[in-house]
């Protein structure tokens, strides 16, 4: 039922900053036959978006003109990391361009089922650093809590594809985190908890609030942050009531997975503004992806657009050698060159740290351009961003 809203309802939507269409970067959803008759109130409802995710060939084929490789990829994805695309994200896809960066991140290709010899199911060795279910403890003072196995959209390059998108539980069950929380309680060195997944923001507010409350009650936990992609793939989820829940258990920090400037629509900007206005510092995490964001000018555009919506670029990750992602991986030099083209050439706040998560569980290792040309007896020979050489005496 299209346009069944009263003017009063429409006014309220606009006042709440919702009902905002993606803008010039996306298609108006009513132009897509699959969504022509969707009520704008439904469209803005995150649960409607979740319920109506695209998971089947006959749905996606109404939104894009599939290539043979995509058709094969979708058929093969059954029973593995499933395809799931929010209707909102679908409006950002270019229906005619198989290289569209939005499209390549969500529609499996036949390439995904070619496993290269050095690829692994768990490239960062998370399972072997797990002292309790759903918990990874690798660094001395902080832990990673894998809060759920579900996400709004499944990214084809996902590092955790061994666990995400296999089976979806809307309610992860009350006791699910007990062991992890006990472990955090009994380890006074843990001052920082990163809640990731899957995506914690697809949890119901009572469930997420309950988890935050339990963590906040631990005196030595000083710092809690959420790792999420929801502001990008399901911005409708950032509601006033979610914000109220997050504020209740603040201070909280948030890392948001952004890969391409096209992801920064008016809708996503609105979601980030709500979060930033609530006092949640926002950082970005980006995976370096071949043909998607591996050119310096694309990455520069991304980091500049992020600063405009108050998101501080935090990390660029080398794409981990997870099974079936060879077609996404670039040489390491590509990432180093991107940092070379940013550092000094633009605002320092716009420059993230490029890291490789060491295969086998070594953690994140920063890699970047080398500015020290030589160092001996307190004499440093340095170069600056434009290549001029300087000597610094200690
Ligand atoms: C990334 C990560 C963290 C957090 O690392 P920061 O550099 O502090 O952001 C913590 N634990 C694990 C296992 C991680 O992979
Ligand atoms: S949102 Fe994160 S965890 Fe979920 S599929 Fe994408 S990369 Fe994986």
Q: Say if residues 292 and 259 touch (Cβ distance below 8 Å).
A: yes
User: Could you tell me if 88 and 102 are in contact, meaning their C-beta atoms sit under 8 angstroms apart?
Assistant: no
Sequence-distant (≥ 6) Cβ neighbours of residue 91 within 8 angstroms? 22, 26, 27, 28, 29, 32, 35
pLDDT of residue 81: 84
Q: What is the pLDDT of residue 260?
A: 98
C-beta of residue 138 within 8 angstroms of C-beta of residue 188: no
For the chain, list the domains and their CATH numbers.
7-108 (no CATH), 127-366 (3.20.20.70)
- The per-residue pLDDT for 6 is 55
DSSP 235: G
* pLDDT of 78: 78
pLDDT at residue 367 in the model: 98
pLDDT tens-digit profile, the chain (394 residues)? 344 455 555 555 544 444 444 445 678 999 999 999 999 999 999 999 999 999 999 999 999 999 999 999 999 887 788 899 999 999 999 999 999 999 999 999 999 988 888 999 999 999 989 999 999 999 999 999 999 999 999 999 999 988 887 655 555 676 899 999 999 999 999 999 999 989 999 999 999 999 999 999 999 999 999 999 999 999 999 999 999 999 999 899 999 999 999 999 999 999 999 999 999 999 999 999 999 999 999 999 999 999 999 999 999 999 999 999 999 999 999 999 999 999 999 999 999 999 999 998 899 999 999 999 999 999 999 999 999 999 999 9
Pocket of ligand 2 (CB under 6 A): 151, 154-155, 158, 160, 164, 197-199, 229, 257
Omega before 198 cis (within 30°)? yes
Selected catalytic residue, list 104, 138, 329, 341 = 138
- The CA 97 to ligand 2 mean position distance, Å, reads 23
- Can you give the pLDDT at residue 295? 98
Give the 3-state secondary structure of residue 315: strand
Nearest CA, atom 7, ligand 1 = 364
Mutate which of 166, 197, 323 to test ligand 2's pocket (most atoms within 8 Å of Cβ)? 197
Which entry of 21, 142, 214, 343 is annotated as an active-site residue? Answer: 142
| Atom 2 (ligand 1) nearest CA | 144
383 is catalytic: no
Helices 332-342 and 296-308 cross at an angle (nearest 10°) of: 50
Active site residue 192: no
pTM over 0.85: yes
Q: Among the options 100, 106, 124, 158, which is catalytic?
A: 158
Q: Which atom of ligand 2 is nearest to the CA of 154?
A: 5
- Sign of the CA dihedral running 128, 134, 317, 108: positive
Instruction: Please say if 151 is a catalytic residue.
Output: yes
């Amino acid at each position: 039922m299209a346009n069944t809203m009263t003017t009063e309802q429409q006014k309220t939507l606009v006042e709440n900053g919702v009902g905002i269409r993606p803008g010039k970067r996306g298609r108006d959803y009513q132009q897509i036959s699959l969504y022509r008759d969707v009520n704008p109130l439904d469209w803005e409802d995150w649960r409607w978006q979740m319920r109506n995710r695209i998971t089947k060939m006959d749905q996606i084929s109404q939104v894009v003109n599939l290539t043979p490789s995509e058709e094969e990829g979708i058929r093969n994805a059954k029973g593995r990391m499933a395809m799931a695309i929010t209707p909102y994200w679908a409006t950002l896809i270019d229906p005619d361009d198989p290289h569209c960066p939005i499209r390549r991140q969500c529609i499996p290709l036949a390439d995904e089922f070619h496993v290269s010899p050095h690829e692994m199911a768990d490239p960062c060795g998370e399972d072997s650093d797990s002292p309790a279910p759903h918990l990874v403890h690798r660094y001395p003072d902080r832990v990673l809590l894998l809060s759920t196995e579900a996400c709004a959209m499944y990214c084809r390059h996902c590092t955790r594809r061994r666990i995400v998108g296999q089976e979806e539980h809307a309610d992860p069950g009350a006791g699910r985190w007990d062991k992890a929380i006990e472990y955090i309680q009994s380890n006074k060195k843990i001052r920082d908890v990163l809640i990731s997944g899957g995506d914690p923001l697809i949890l119901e507010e009572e469930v997420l609030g309950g988890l935050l409350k339990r963590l906040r009650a631990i005196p030595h936990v000083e710092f809690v942050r959420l790792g999420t992609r929801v502001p990008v793939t399901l911005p409708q989820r950032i509601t006033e009531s979610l914000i109220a829940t997050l504020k209740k258990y603040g201070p909280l920090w948030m890392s948001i997975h952004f890969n391409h400037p096209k992801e920064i629509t008016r809708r996503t900007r609105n979601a980030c503004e709500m979060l930033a206005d609530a006092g949640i510092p926002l950082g970005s995490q980006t995976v370096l992806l071949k043909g998607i964001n591996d050119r310096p000018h694309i990455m520069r555009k991304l980091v500049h657009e992020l600063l405009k919506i108050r998101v501080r670029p935090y990390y660029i990750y080398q794409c981990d050698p997870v099974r079936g992602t060879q077609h996404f991986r670039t040489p390491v030099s590509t990432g180093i060159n991107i940092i070379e083209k940013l550092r000094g050439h633009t605002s320092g706040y716009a420059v993230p740290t490029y890291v490789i998560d060491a295969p086998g569980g070594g953690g994140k290792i920063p890699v970047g351009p080398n500015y020290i040309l030589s160092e001996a007896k307190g004499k440093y020979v340095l170069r600056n961003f434009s290549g001029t050489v300087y000597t610094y005496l200690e």
